[in-house]
């Protein structure tokens, strides 16, 4: 999934407004770099491997520039509200 330039700008604004005081929980750094967007299937996983009531959720990966710890920002609602 690729974000349009308008969506990238909106995501950057969303993250900057909310990450002002955020520190990486592993190393204390406060600089994160945005990487690609990924979709994760979320649902109830049965022991057989079948997933029920699954939905796909879009996230942006924000990576700590010191230790690589990664935060995932939900792009839908509630969240950044950039996708349905
Ligand atoms: Zn870190």
Mean model confidence pLDDT for the chain = 84
pLDDT of the residue at 64: 93
C-alpha of residue 55 to centroid of ligand 1, in Å: 30
40-78 pLDDT, tens digit per residue, is 888 887 888 777 778 888 898 889 999 999 998 888 887
Contact 11, 3 (CB under 8 A): yes
Question: Which percentage of the chain shows pLDDT scores above 70?
Answer: 96
Residue 35, exposed/middle/buried by CB under 10 A (0-12, 13-18, 19+)? exposed
C-alpha of residue 26 to centroid of ligand 1, in Å: 5
C-alpha of residue 1 to centroid of ligand 1, in Å: 26
pTM: predicted TM-score of the whole model, two decimal places: 0.70
């Amino acid at each position: 999934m690729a974000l349009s330039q308008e969506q990238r700008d909106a995501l950057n604004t969303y993250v900057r407004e909310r990450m002002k005081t955020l520190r990486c929980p592993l190393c204390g750094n406060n600089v994160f770099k945005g990487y690609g967007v990924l979709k994760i299937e979320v649902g109830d996983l049965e022991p057989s491997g079948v997933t029920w009531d699954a939905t796909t959720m879009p996230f942006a990966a924000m990576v700590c520039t010191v230790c690589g710890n990664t935060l995932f920002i939900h792009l839908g609602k509630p969240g950044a509200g950039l996708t349905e």
